[in-house]
Chains A and B, each alone.
Chain A
Amino acid sequence: MTQNSTAAAHPDLLGEPIYSVRDVSRRYGELAALDRVSLTIARGEWLSIVGPSGSGKSTLMNILGCMDSPTDGIVLLEGERLDKMGEPELAKVRRQKIGLIFQQFHLVQHLTACENVMLAQYYHSLPDEKEALEALERVGMAERATHLPRELSGGEQQRVCVARALINHPDVILADEPTGNLDEVNERVVIDFFHQLHDDGTTLIVVTHDSEVAAQGQRQIILEHGRIVRETTDLSNTPTKGKPVRGVEAR
């Protein structure tokens, strides 16, 4: 079932919310990258954020990922006000609750695949090589653990990036164009992996241009000029495990 809407969601109609975004704006001088966006994301939900270039989807992701702060509005993550936090508090939230996946992978070039995964552990708690190898095994990269990023294909690098995002068992995975640099085969591998994570109850927020990737989510929000102009929900993507998410028609 698919429902269309013209604006943000009603938080009270969703399941247990993990994110609550209320009238959030992000301005760069006169330019509003985000313009009074309101949105609720439920725990265990797979949300796709789509829209043309410059629509504000990466800005929204940066705010949700604690890498940027709004100029106006309220952002709550598990009840905590992100918009009021300073850089040290935001860094703490990033390392404890969020896993990030980038289009450009952003692996440290002089570290091996395993060391890149352990880097996330280092800032979270303590590096554990065994655990890092298990994470790599989970994404099918155990045999390439000692390889440097330049020795890996794009798909392999993205899988290392996924392993790095998962290693600290985050509450939310934020992926910015995760398949943007991948061929079809590797895109399928990553999508399948996202399905596994979703089935495990992980909240997934995926920014993408790709309509096929966006369609994998339970809900899509379409941004234009910094505003949510449409929202679609597909409950057929409800995970077999984890909390089901109910779609909503917003105002």
Chain B
Amino acid sequence: MLSGLSLIAFTVPAQMSEELRAYGANLVVLPDGSQGLTDEQLSIADDAVGAAALNRAPYQYTNLLYNQQALPVMGTLLDDALAVRSYWEIDGALPTGADQILVGENVAELYRFDVGETVGLTAPTTAEGAARQLTVTGILRTGGAEDDLVVMSLDTLKEFTGGVTEYNIIEYSANADGTTLTALADAVNARDAGMEAEVVRRISQTESGIAQTLQTLIWIVSVVICLLTMISISATLNAIVSERAREIGLKKALGALSRDVMGEFMGESILLGLIGGLAGVAAGIWIANFISVRAFAVQLDVNWWVVPITLVFSVILSLAGSLAPVRRISRIRPVDVLGGE
């Protein structure tokens, strides 16, 4: 059981870290001033974050007009954005052409847009009547701010902004814990390139919080299991010592010292601990894999160092559990257990 819990404690948090990447970016880069970020700054940020970035997406926000009403629009690299924000649900499909868009759930409801419909959008500076017709390929459901946006590719957005691309935010999904993320943000800021990197505390803290909670829980369960195991070993050996009191008394009557008989029992404990440990390791790996697959949908990556550690631990537990019963052996007197008046 302990070997199984150890495997879960050390393997699952790493797996969960990857799972949590699905809940969005954990590092964002914003412009230092009122100006947006350029492609050059994007490259500098990419360079600073380096290989830690699993996914990255830049976003540009603006307002376009629909029937003379302002409609918030987000331009992005759609595939990259979907990789970073994998929680997006799209009724329909991602736009593949320059004349296609996604509309947020709330926008679709407000303006009664549906998949396949054409929406005429104009830039605020464009003369009335020159609206560009774009086809809705999907309704975006996120439960977040995207539900109030029209989402399109950066190339499509360029047609409204006169070819100007200025990112308002760059999102990174990095494979790193809180400390490493802070170091990555510092690395970006150190470039002094007119941008500011921030760690998304919500995600990084949730990740470390869950991992810490899981590990703390497993440690508590492990300690309880250790105590219960020791009590169980102690009770079993106590019963064995009582059951074999005559044999112990006989050995002493034949000239054995208390320490000789105690040594024999300790030897038996070590042997039982080793056998139990081996059986426990096999069962533990199977149970850990079962829990891992069922609860976390992850095939367990078995760390084989768990085997010797579990065996050593089993022996230590057996010895610790047998200390009290074995001490009783010294109090068994042949005269008390071999009959007499």
Q: Is B251 a contact of A119 with CB atoms below 8 Å?
A: yes
Contacts of A67 in B (CB 8 A): 253, 333-335, 338
Asked whether any CB of chain A lies closer than 8 Å to the CB of B162, the reply is no
The A42-74 residues at the B interface (CB cut-off 8 A) are 53-54, 56-59, 61-62, 65, 67-68
Asked whether any CB of chain B lies closer than 8 Å to the CB of A92, the reply is yes
Q: Is B250 a contact of A95 with CB atoms below 8 Å?
A: no
Q: Is B254 a contact of A87 with CB atoms below 8 Å?
A: no
Asked whether any CB of chain A lies closer than 8 Å to the CB of B155, the reply is no
Residue of B whose beta carbon sits closest to that of A109: B247
> In the assembly, what is the distance between CA of A65 and CA of B257, in Å?
15
Asked whether any CB of chain B lies closer than 8 Å to the CB of A235, the reply is no
Interface residues on B, range: 20 to 34
> In the assembly, what is the distance between CA of A102 and CA of B260, in Å?
22
Q: Closest CB-CB distance, A151 to chain B, in whole Å?
A: 18
Asked whether any CB of chain B lies closer than 8 Å to the CB of A81, the reply is no
Contacts of B85 in A (CB 8 A): none
Complex interface bits, A89-119 against B, C-beta within 8 A gives 1, otherwise 0: 0011011100010111010100000000001
- With A67-B334, A123-B255 in contact, do A59 and B246 touch (Cβ < 8 Å)? no
Q: Is B341 a contact of A119 with CB atoms below 8 Å?
A: no
Q: Closest CB-CB distance, B254 to chain A, in whole Å?
A: 5
Q: Is A88 a contact of B339 with CB atoms below 8 Å?
A: no
> DSSP majority for the A interface?
helix
Residue of B whose beta carbon sits closest to that of A97: B255
Contacts of A164 in B (CB 8 A): 254
Residue of A whose beta carbon sits closest to that of B255: A95
Contacts of A103 in B (CB 8 A): 339
Q: Is B246 a contact of A106 with CB atoms below 8 Å?
A: yes
> In the assembly, what is the distance between CA of A133 and CA of B281, in Å?
43
Asked whether any CB of chain A lies closer than 8 Å to the CB of B256, the reply is yes
Contact of B338 among A94, A106, A124 (CB under 8 A): A106
Contacts of A120 in B (CB 8 A): 254-255
> In the assembly, what is the distance between CA of A53 and CA of B339, in Å?
13
**Among the interface residues B249, B252, B333, which one has the most CB atoms of the partner chain A within 10 A?**
B252
Q: Closest CB-CB distance, A178 to chain B, in whole Å?
A: 12
Q: Is B247 a contact of A59 with CB atoms below 8 Å?
A: no
Asked whether any CB of chain B lies closer than 8 Å to the CB of A83, the reply is no
Asked whether any CB of chain B lies closer than 8 Å to the CB of A33, the reply is yes
Q: Is B252 a contact of A91 with CB atoms below 8 Å?
A: yes
Contact of B254 among A33, A68, A100 (CB under 8 A): A100
* Total of A-B residue pairs, C-beta within 8 Å: 64
> In the assembly, what is the distance between CA of A94 and CA of B250, in Å?
11
Asked whether any CB of chain B lies closer than 8 Å to the CB of A176, the reply is yes
Q: Is A95 a contact of B254 with CB atoms below 8 Å?
A: yes
The B303-341 residues at the A interface (CB cut-off 8 A) are 333-335, 338-341
> In the assembly, what is the distance between CA of A65 and CA of B250, in Å?
13
Q: Is B255 a contact of A58 with CB atoms below 8 Å?
A: no
Q: Closest CB-CB distance, A132 to chain B, in whole Å?
A: 13
Asked whether any CB of chain A lies closer than 8 Å to the CB of B258, the reply is yes
Residue of B whose beta carbon sits closest to that of A61: B340
Q: Is B253 a contact of A100 with CB atoms below 8 Å?
A: yes
Complex interface bits, B260-276 against A, C-beta within 8 A gives 1, otherwise 0: 10000000000000000
The chain A residues found within 8 Å of chain B, CB to CB, are 33, 53-54, 56-59, 61-62, 65, 67-68, 87-88, 91-92, 94-96, 100, 102-104, 106, 108, 119-120, 123-124, 164, 176
The chain B residues found within 8 Å of chain A, CB to CB, are 246-247, 249-258, 260, 333-335, 338-341
Of all A-B residue pairs in the complex, the 10 with the closest CB atoms, nearest first, are A95-B255, A58-B340, A123-B255, A67-B335, A58-B341, A123-B256, A94-B255, A68-B335, A67-B334, A62-B335
Interchain Cβ contacts under 8 Å between A and B, 10 examples? A58-B340, A88-B257, A92-B255, A94-B253, A102-B339, A103-B339, A106-B246, A106-B250, A123-B251, A123-B260
Q: A95-B254, A106-B249, A108-B247 are in contact. List 20 more A-B contacts (CB 8 A).
A: A53-B341, A54-B341, A58-B341, A62-B335, A62-B340, A67-B333, A87-B257, A87-B258, A88-B257, A92-B255, A95-B255, A96-B255, A100-B254, A104-B339, A106-B246, A106-B253, A123-B251, A124-B255, A176-B339, A176-B340
